[in-house]
Amino acid sequence: MTKKIVFLDVDGTLCDDAGNVPESARQAITAAHKKGHEFFLCTGRSKAEITEDVLALPLSGMIGAGGGYCEVHDEVILHKVFEKEALLRLIDFLKANQIEYYLESNQGLFASTNLRNRLIEIVLAGEPVESEAGKQRVQTIQWFLDLLIEDEAKIDYDDVNKVSFINHSIPYEQVHDQYHEQFQMIRSTVPVFGKDSGEIGIKNIHKKTAIDFLLNHLGIDNKDALAFGDGHNDVEMFEAVATGIAMGNACEQLLAVADEVTARPEDGGIAQALQKHGLV
């Protein structure tokens, strides 16, 4: 069988709602890898956000920051970053509008002053933090809270590849209208962040541009490429491959362009599709 290249979105695709890789996916990916097929993450997350659970998979590399970063066999082949002065002006805008944010780079995730407290408030949804239910809710995001760096002195503003913002102050459209000509703007793919939150990346950089670059680097035709996704930021990813496979929990926008639909992550969706295509 011809070797296939498989691109995996992370949140809601490779990982379930709790952020864990289902055992069915782990076993299927490992089995397919042993048959010579290669797997790459293709995620909005930056490298610093990739958990050990995910990195334990037999991966050949990753596309991160929504297409701004690309690594193949431990070699960085693409890394797009913000122009420093433009980034600083963006940060001033977010602060002025009381929008919490985190700067994403390979060195870490750098949080705005009140981001940690805001995230805890959101996930608690009115539940007292000291209650058993409150503790359990906070625990679901503790892995992410542990990644946040809250010392501005440690930020290298020349090495930021994406900005994610958690916004409950002004309409998303106001942020979009202000910056869509300068940056790549998308609504947040994390529902709990709220409908007015979003992600800001390098202009004209997305998952398709990165996949095209990676496949060209490897000398592989996209007819031998598959992708799994669930969110609206995966639409471009599906345009870059021969077969786009939407998870059962995918948004309507992605389902409309998917070639196939499989089950949800926790119901064995990735394993079922890999078996269907003969990769396992």
CATH 3.40.50.970, domain 5-80+206-277, yes or no: no
Q: Hey, which CATH number is domain 84-202, 1.10.10.10, 3.20.20.70, 3.30.1240.10, 3.40.50.720? A: 3.30.1240.10
pLDDT at 17 over 80: no
Which pLDDT tens digit goes with each residue over 251-268? 999 999 999 999 999 999
* Cβ neighbourhood burial of 22 (10 Å; 0-12, 13-18, 19+): buried
Domain ranges of the chain: 5-80+206-277, 84-202
For the record, the structure tokens of 181 come out as: 């000509």
Distances (CA, A) of 136 to 124, 129, 133, 139, 264: 9, 9, 5, 5, 23
Q: Say if 5-80+206-277 and 84-202 have the same CATH topology.
A: no
What is the per-residue pLDDT across 116-141, written as a single tens digit (0 to 9) for each?
999 999 999 999 999 999 999 999 88
pLDDT tens digit sequence for 207-232: 999 999 999 999 999 999 999 999 99
Alpha-carbon span 155 to 171, nearest angstrom:
28
Contact status, residue 233 vs residue 189, Cβ threshold 8 Å: yes
Which tens digit of pLDDT belongs to each residue from 233-253?
A: 999 999 999 999 999 999 999
pLDDT of residue 189: 81
